[in-house]
Amino acid sequence: MELEIFKKDGKPSGSKVTLPEKVFGAQPSQGSVYLAVKCLQANARQGTHNTKTRAMVSGGGKKPWKQKGRGVARAGTIRSPLWVGGGRVFGPHPRDYGLKLPKKVKALARISVYSDKARNEQVMVVENFKLDQPKTKEMFGILKSLGLEKTKTLMLVPEYDAILLKASRNLPMLNIKVAATESTYDLLNCERLLIQEAAIAKISGVPQ
């Protein structure tokens, strides 16, 4: 698949780039995408929730009233789960929600989303560029030139760029990731995929 390379001012550069077929031309696997997102969200859970059973609640060592003769229900402790302030039955306790996926399944999930984005014409390639200063206005101007100022966009760059990240962190529609570090969820959670030309070589190594 060939795509036009755009300049940061939004104009075509006159050259094209060929996207790797093994990444952008594969048959999408919905099952692997589901598992990858499920694994990511499960691993993000803290699992620190906790409740007290009747054995953990303090007090209640004395029978509140005698067994018979009062005309009310029999009670052995004020910490019964039936009472306000009592223990909780089958309540949650700290646990680890972590899941693991084989590397090949993770790679297949990302390739599936890449291929789906390419098939739906949601991929755009832009020339390599850097900013001299972390100016949000300048970064927004680039997005506006590319017609992405109102579109939720994931931008993939070839290497870490502190100035670029600072310039974009106040733009709610833009998320910047170093190529090959983006997750399946990052790819799904955008309307357009904006890739710097030099980042394509790193994306080609996704299956590894």
Tens of pLDDT, residue by residue over 172-192, are 999 999 998 999 999 999 999
Indicate yes or no: pTM above 0.75.
Answer: yes
Please name which of 171, 161, 162, 172 lies closest in space to residue 138, comparing C-alpha atoms: 171
Q: State how far the Cα of 33 lies from the Cα of 42, in Å rounded to an integer.
A: 14
47 CB contacts (<8 Å, ≥6 apart)?
94, 95, 96, 97
How large a percentage of the chain has pLDDT more than 90?
87
- Over the stretch 84-108, which tens digit does the pLDDT of each residue have? 999 999 999 999 999 999 999 999 9
Contact 142, 164 (CB under 8 A): no
**Closest to 5 measured CA to CA, from 197, 204, 200, 199:** 197
Looking at residue 208, what is its pLDDT?
39
3 state DSSP class of 26: coil
Q: What's the alpha-carbon Rg for the chain, to the nearest Å?
A: 27
Q: Which residues pair with 195 in a beta bridge?
A: 125, 156
Structure tokens at 18: 């060929």
For residues 140 and 149, what is the distance between their CA atoms, to the nearest angstrom? 7
7 by Cβ neighbours in 10 Å (0-12 / 13-18 / 19+) ranks as: middle
